[in-house]
Structure 1
């Protein structure tokens, strides 16, 4: 097919006019575009004009040409750096606020340790280690095999300090929640035989699906079902009928209630959004899936992000945008409850002793080696000093983005007579022996990461690891990502994907801006009723130069979402967990938001080789007489767990 025929096939009969055809061919030549790519840009341009004339003529093509030029200049300014006038913007004075755990009514004013200032640690490089390079020679069950050769790792990596020398102050508490009310639990009784058995609260079989085989119709059905679920929740909460939910894309002078998903107003939008670049996507039933631009001039306070499902009141008076006049709060799910008999049984099973948990987050080795001696030393402390009833370990254990693994420079392991041939064998021969040193009475829960080399699932939600394949004992429990499980009366939700880092908000309003960012995102997670409410997922990319000399973006990491299975990321049983653990690369924290305890334990090992932090959680036994449990009105002997009242969280250096 000739270029002319391709253009006419894409743009239709108007493109067959000689002058129009010549103008389109010039655009393709100037910007090195194929007919398909130019037509996609034309569709985007037509959508941005919001119903204005987009006939394919010379006048419209001239405006289209200017639009393409503006996009190129905008991308160039973003990639090439900002001018000194914009980059040296005046910084606002930092407002001092009381250091409290949560802006919510019930968690406000909870005592916390003062924030510690960051201090530099002497990281004087030690003598670089020698590593044997390995070249890929064969494959076994889809895993790359390596054979040893002579050589050393890159100088930039080998110049980093040895990880075993970088534990400046182990066991130091850097932050505490509920410091004045609850003592640190003693943990596992050395002479006793009482153990705490976690109970999974999810259907593991549903996670056993094949990833990266998404069907477009299935993905669309799931996204639409999310909207319909929230429409039903808003109708029930605000006592609305089906006719009260209107279509925001239709011009009308009447104020209507709408429920939809926040999306960028243009498919080509990149970077951080603002209040002028948002649109609302409707469901199939209410608006045939159409989108309409949002006008937030009348809204005083709002916090929005892509993928968020919202409820608004307003009207579309001119047919071009929906004027939001009021925001409606999405109703929260209910909290878990237990009867007095159940609470007494849980109390007796623990002999009225507090429960102790320890939470770790990978990686477990520095970026210049695959030395797990720090983890081995920490496990000695787990057995002798910390002694938790439950140890929750989040991946990655072997990170696919680790420089040595990504480059194939797998080092020799001197302690092994037979060197591992695959990455799975690196886990079973190097990491599993370390993990097996954990006391058999301690229940260990492993939550995988999408970056784990030993995981068959590279997308979220993610199936669990295989305990037998990893050669781990029976006190190890391999759970899915995300997963919800029960520890006595406490419902714990774990999600090993960095929602706190990925969610970039559009914030407007004094009170909303004054809230801590962690609190705002935690409230979004509770309101959206799922562990990762962002859509599409936050992806990290880097610019690389290909073999052809052209620049391109390469995917590094991020939330690769398996959209047809996003229902598995929702809170199980339509109840909120008492405790939600979401590890993040951002600063560690423990906060109470809407009576739910959120914990980020921090990274166990930083890339530089310095040990990070972990979370130590002490839970007082349920006592019906101390006033910390709330009795449900109208119910006989049914109580809220109120974990945030009877739980102490310590963020401790590893």
Structure 2
């Protein structure tokens, strides 16, 4: 006998729907297709309504099948759409298209000979919202017990005559349970991660002649418990407590103007023989010098820069903010780059100086491109470095730093297994500092996008990440942890760039956990490190137009130059533009990953050149020296379905005798009335004494 109960169970089985989703579909069906009674009461769930609901669900399934890339067809959809169940008398024939909605009611869940749909192992990976991963009961992302859950309560509200015991837990093969077996729901990504064979192998090493960091003994003294390194960061939380999406066009214009004028000042300081900048739109037969920002010609059909789409925009002081197309002469030269490069990388938003002329008044023809100089390196008094490196804290031993970038979990689950593997390596090696860059819980994770979560983002962070960080603090005595958020992080209210630090209440109330903004500049002892979790390298590499040009004046570059290396040229652009994100406007396809707030551009500036730049990217992982700066892309700790990479830094101390000599010279100058001055300041020259290893997790 047909009943509403059998109708519901058949729909659940045919379309692999959880009971609560069927209830939501019923509510949507009532709102869209059924009218309330005259008394205002909601429509009652009847057998006729069940037939109409089945037709509506079937239409949705067929519509998804007709859309390319719309996802996999739910289990049983092909049976309901084109091959209805045939009763024993054979009166129902095979049909195509949308069925009448009656055939599925001929299926009796109690019939022993009823064929159970084969569980699909790919369903859980392609649609985790419908088939969540079956995990232990202690996991916050596991299926709740099926004999007393909100899912069954939703089904009971749909039809009070259905008892929750009839759905129960998954039974043995051949049963008529609406849930697939747990083995069919186990994601393949976790198995691949555990079966990896190259764990903790090194893929790339910079300065391999330097010794790796020794594993220190467990500190017992009170001094060691406080930590060996001296950590400092100049970020002020008040600077990042701003309201985003309140930008004004006038404020953006002022920021762009100010940036052009600042780099013009640096160009005039680097090349004293240059004349004052002139307006490039004014026709002239003589060569002039001008400064401006590169943009793309809006009249061009292409969105990429090329020889015919370059437009120069000046500041209000130089050219009244006007724009003019620029072209390059055949013998165009470049000045200010490293020796042997022979090209210049141009991108929208970058600022350069140009020597040339505008003979027709319509185009500015460039004879020479002038690259802005990088910011100066910082220096530290020799006495301070001597105390930090060779004092009782460090004891002339190197500093060990780990750096890793999110995501920290696989796409198949939210168990954070790569992070757990990193924690185990940290506990074994006991580094002085661990730098973790977001996203920690990304809005792009499949579970988040599908809504397949049973805990809030804060609860997930505290149960899966904070607990592991606490394990590090308890085990690795004296270590310090640095947390830098990502723009796609769900655990922060600020989703723009520059981005404020994480909330202390969300993380850990420990002084050894440093919460920093994105981007940020920090000091570990004397070494100056710049950090940004935005994939600036990928965006720049994609948007940069490399123009071949001869060298006007050869300049020597110490500490490595990356000659002929396009990636080194992209890294060099960040230094010469003095910004963590010099692109403007942000590429449309990357806007969700940046959310640039231009009015707070000052927070993206690099006024001092860092010794190390940490720039995680989806590009190939690397560690290289660019203009005396160590630039490192540690990669991602998780590569969707497998483990990724992280980086290890070993900062060796400066020679003790040279520091003592510099300190004595400074003391003598001070005694003579000259003060410390430059004689006591020592350049870090970190590029020659830092070893970097890119390691697989």
Compared CA separation, residues 382 and 309, structure 1 to 2 (3 A): same
1:506 pairs with 2:533: no
SS in 1 for 2:412: coil
Alignment counterpart, residue 561 of structure 1, candidates 554, 578, 596: 596
Partners of 2:284 and 2:470 in 1: CA distance: 67
Change in CA separation of 1:623 and 1:473 when aligned onto 2, cut-off 3 Å: same
Quick check: 1:173 aligned with 2:202? yes
Q: Which residue of 2 aligns with 1:453?
A: 490
Cα offset, 1:157, TM superposition: 10
Cα deviation, residue 161, structure 1: 5.0
Q: Which residue number in structure 2 is paired with residue 186 of structure 1?
A: 214
Superimposed CA distance per residue, residues 490-544 of structure 1 (whole angstroms, 9 cap, x where no aligned partner): 1111011111100121112278997212200111111001111111123427xxx
**Is there any run of 5+ residues in structure 2 with no aligned partner, and where?**
1-120, 133-143, 153-178, 334-342, 552-561, 667-676
The runs of 5 or more residues in structure 1 that have no matched partner are 1-124, 136-145, 411-418, 542-554
Q: Report deviation, 1:568.
A: 0.5
Equivalent in the alignment of 2:326: 294
* 3-state DSSP of counterpart to 1:297: strand
Aligned-pair distance for 1:276? Answer: 1.6
Residue of structure 2 aligned with 1:402, choices 445, 455, 471:
445
Q: Is residue 682 of structure 2 the alignment partner of residue 646 of structure 1? A: no
Measured against aligned partners, the alpha-carbon deviations of 1:84-122 in whole angstroms (never above 9, x if no partner) come to xxxxxxxxxxxxxxxxxxxxxxxxxxxxxxxxxxxxxxx
Give the structure 2 partner of residue 533 of structure 1. 582
TM-aligned CA deviation for residue 205 of structure 1:
1.7
**Structure 1 position 166, deviation (Å):** 4.3
Q: Aligned partners of 1:148, 1:511: CA distance in 2, in Å?
A: 71
User: Could you tell me which residue of structure 1 aligns to residue 420 of structure 2?
Assistant: 376
Q: Which secondary structure state, in structure 2, belongs to the residue aligned with residue 437 of structure 1?
A: helix
Superposition RMSD on alpha carbons, in Å? 3.1
Look up the SS of the partner of 2:380 in the other structure: strand
Distance 2:195 2:550 in 1: 42
Partner of 2:165: none
CA distance in structure 2 between the partners assigned to 1:218 and 1:370 by the alignment:
41
Q: How do 1:212-361 residues align onto structure 2 when only pairs under 5 Å count?
A: 212-239=245-272, 244-266=276-298, 269-298=301-330, 299=332, 301-347=343-389, 348=391, 349-361=393-405
Contact 1:264 1:273 in 2 (8 A): yes
Equivalent residue for 1:196, pick from 212, 226, 229: 229
**CA shift in 2, pair 1:195/1:467, >3 Å:** farther
Query: Deviation of residue 614 (structure 1)?
Result: 0.6
Map of 2:468 onto structure 1: 434
Change in Cα spacing, 1:510 to 1:290, as seen in structure 2 (3 Å) is closer
TM-score between the two structures when normalised by the length of structure 1: 0.70
Give the conservation status (yes or no) of the 8 Å contact 2:285–2:359: yes
1:133–1:149: 8 Å Cα contact kept in structure 2? Answer: no
Q: 1:126 to 1:359 in 2, by over 3 A?
A: farther
Point out the structure with max Rg over C-alpha. Answer: 2
Q: Distance in 1 between matches of 2:286 and 2:515?
A: 54
Q: Is the 8 A contact 1:163 1:366 kept in 2?
A: no
- Shift of residue 267 of structure 1? 6.0
Determine the C-alpha separation between the residues in 2 that align with 1:256 and 1:393: 48
User: Is the 2:407–2:638 contact (alpha carbons within 8 Å) kept by the matching residues of 1?
Assistant: yes
The alpha carbon displacement at 1:431 in A equals 2.3
Match of 2:191 in 1: 162
Question: Do the aligned partners of residues 332 and 374 (structure 1) sit closer, same or farther apart at CA in structure 2, a change above 3 Å counting?
Answer: closer
SS in 2 for 1:438: helix
Q: Any conservation in 1 of the 2:230–2:388 contact (CA below 8 Å)?
A: no
Distance 2:301 2:401 in 1: 44
Cα deviation for residue 203 of structure 1 reads 2.6
Deviation at 1:374, TM superposition (A): 2.9
Alignment partners' CA distance in 2, 1:629 and 1:403? 59
1:478 and 2:515 matched: yes
Contact 2:235 2:516 in 1 (8 A): no
Match of 2:243 among 210, 219, 222: 210
Q: 1:204 Cα deviation (Å)?
A: 2.8
- Kept in 2, the 8 Å contact 1:629–1:640? The answer is no
In 1, distance between residues paired with 2:468 and 2:293? 46
Larger relative contact order (C-alpha < 8 A, sep ≥ 6)?
Answer: 1
* Distance (whole Å) between structure 2 residues aligned to residue 639 and residue 219 of structure 1: 39
Counterpart for residue 141 of structure 1: none
Distance 1:161 1:171, change over 3 A: closer
**Corresponding residue for 2:640?**
607
Matched residue of 1:508: which SS?
Answer: strand
Deviation per CA, 1:122-155: give whole Å up to 9, x if none.
xxx99968977599xxxxxxxxxx99648789x9
SS state of the match for residue 436, structure 1?
Answer: helix
Q: Aligned partners of 1:308, 1:611: CA distance in 2, in Å?
A: 36
Contact 2:629–2:687 (8 Å) recurs in 1: yes
What is the CA–CA distance in structure 2 between the aligned matches of 1:302 and 1:156, rounded to whole Å? 52
Q: Is the 8 A contact 1:538 1:559 kept in 2?
A: no
CA contact (8 A) 2:527 2:684 kept: yes
Partner Cα separation in structure 1 for residue 563 and residue 623 of structure 2: 19
Deviation at 1:160, TM superposition (A): 4.5
> Secondary structure of 2:639's partner?
coil
Question: How far is 1:472 from its partner?
Answer: 4.9
Distance across 2 between alignment mates of 1:334 and 1:514: 21
Alignment partner of 1:342: what SS? Answer: helix
Instruction: Pick closer, same or farther for the CA change 1:126–1:317 going to 2, 3 Å.
Output: closer
- Kept in 2, the 8 Å contact 1:127–1:159? The answer is no
Would you say the 8 A contact 1:365–1:605 is kept in 2? yes
Structure 1 stretches (4+) deviating beyond 6 angstroms? Answer: 125-132, 150-153, 510-514, 626-634
* Pairs within 5 Å for 1:531-610: 531-540=580-589, 557-571=592-606, 574-608=607-641, 610=642
Structure-2 change in CA distance of 1:630 and 1:195 (3 Å): closer
Distance 2:661 2:691 in 1: 16
Q: Say if 1:222 and 1:458 are closer, same or farther in 2 by CA, change over 3 A.
A: same
Determine the C-alpha separation between the residues in 1 that align with 2:517 and 2:631: 19
